[in-house]
Structure 1
Amino acid sequence: MATKGPSKSSEQSGTGAANSNKSGLRKPVFVKVDSLKPGTNGHTLIVKVLTSNTVLSKKPRNTMSFRGSQNQNTRIAECLIGDETGTILFTARNNQVDLMKPDNTLILRNAKIDMFKGSMRLAVDKWGRIEVTEPENFVVKEDNNLSLVEYELVDSLKPGTNGHTLIVKVLTSNTVLSKKPRNTMSFRGPQNQNTRIAECLIGDETGTILFTARNNQVDLMKPDNTLILRNAKIDMFKGSMRLAVDKWGRIEVTEPENFVVKEDNNLSLVEYELVNVVEES
């Protein structure tokens, strides 16, 4: 008696499961605008277009290439896009400009962050894609424009200043204090956290500076880590500058940057002297 082979429906089911598994591997992870950081790429977002301003529209020269005559205009538009968490400027090029109509809802696939004069811009190159999709019902948070945040360079830091946002690499981290707490009580309960302080050398392509890390910050200060320091301030220690982030700021570990730290320009080696001003009677 002949043995029946597997049914067609079961074969289709198996194929469908395999395809489902394959498609599952490719499923994109959608991120929000306020999670974007310098030096990152591979982002997939759903955004609305708020404004689109053409900054370049250049007709081509009558030139020939191996692809034939080059007849396409070069167009660049600076577009403000966003979602319910914030906004960011998007640099649209050539055919992308046509998609950037105000009120359009877009899916940006494999978008990347470029830096322009110290601030972030979002872009999609030939490895990504822009799709116009159905309108979303979220309200764009227009008071959180990530492109208005200016990332400063280390060599621009000066004594007595604060509110700095920088991207730096950690070169060294040395613990200078690790103190166990006494068995004391406060209105918050028992104090069980160690007091830790580390002196860390951090820097960017313009120079280095010593950073004073406290308690949980010490764990982030691992050599070769790339960090974003938000609302950092300059403290003075024995006449030289130290960078610090207090409770009003934030430290974030981010994707590695490709700059080379300029180690021969240590701002913390510059000693500032006090000048006594004598008033004339």
Structure 2
Amino acid sequence: MSEIILAETAGFCFGVERAVEIAVSALEKGPKPVYTLGPIIHNPQEVQRLEAMGLLMAENLDDIERGTVIIRSHGAQKGVIEMARLKGLNVVDATCPFVNRLKERVETLAGENYQILIVGQADHPEVKAILSFAPADSLVAKSVQELKENPGIKSRVGIVAQTTHALENLQRVASYCVGICKEIKVFRTTCQTTDARRKQVRDMAGKVDVMIVVGGRNSANTARLTEAATEECPRTHQIESAEEIAALGIHPGSKVGVTAGASTPGWVIDDVVGTLKKSPG
């Protein structure tokens, strides 16, 4: 039998747990129907569980005529909440407090006339939401290389980061900007819990034969955990559910480390660990 080691920090973070609790409460209190704008979190199994309880998903406000709309943990673009209220909808805001803090930092930098640079993924819903509150000349770059390819950077730049982005990447981008800008101001807006998880996963991955990261394939923080684990353990696998374990080919007697993204529910993690323990390996 393989030795299974589960990371202490695996699973829901504060913001995700809060969003799920808010959704369940909204389903109980109404008014119904209850919608979210996009998936409330980036985990397909938990989204399916909430849908089974009656939660509906809409892509935009045009799809919602009555009832309750929940603003998901990633936040909403500027004007969406006001528009929802004008339509007579009951608005429940489940935006992660750390995302709200990021928005406040962007507004502060804009008020001080810095060009905003968001270190993160341009297509991520959190970044899209934050960017809508920033001036038109704001930039998004996920890496130094991507920033080098953008000719629009100015001499005074205020730098923030997507909350689930790697702190090391924020530091690399800020260091690069020191060399090309006259003035920069940096806010550390990465989630410190997420930073700590990456450190723990690196430490664990260096001590095991196989590393399994459990989480949705559309989850940014799960992807960052997988990258961190792969640096120390080449046999790192990202899976969404226990059904994928059989195909991994884990050898008998292997030491297996398990962690999970911040949007992965405990019951999914328990299922993965339970399946590993029953595995012939």
- Structure with a larger share of its residues in helix: 2
- Structure with a larger share of its residues in strand: 1
Computing the radius of gyration from Cα coordinates, the structure with the larger value is 1
TM range (shorter): under 0.3
User: What is the TM-score normalised by the length of structure 1?
Assistant: 0.21
Higher RCO (CA < 8 A, seq sep 6+): 2
User: What is the TM-score normalised by the length of structure 2?
Assistant: 0.21
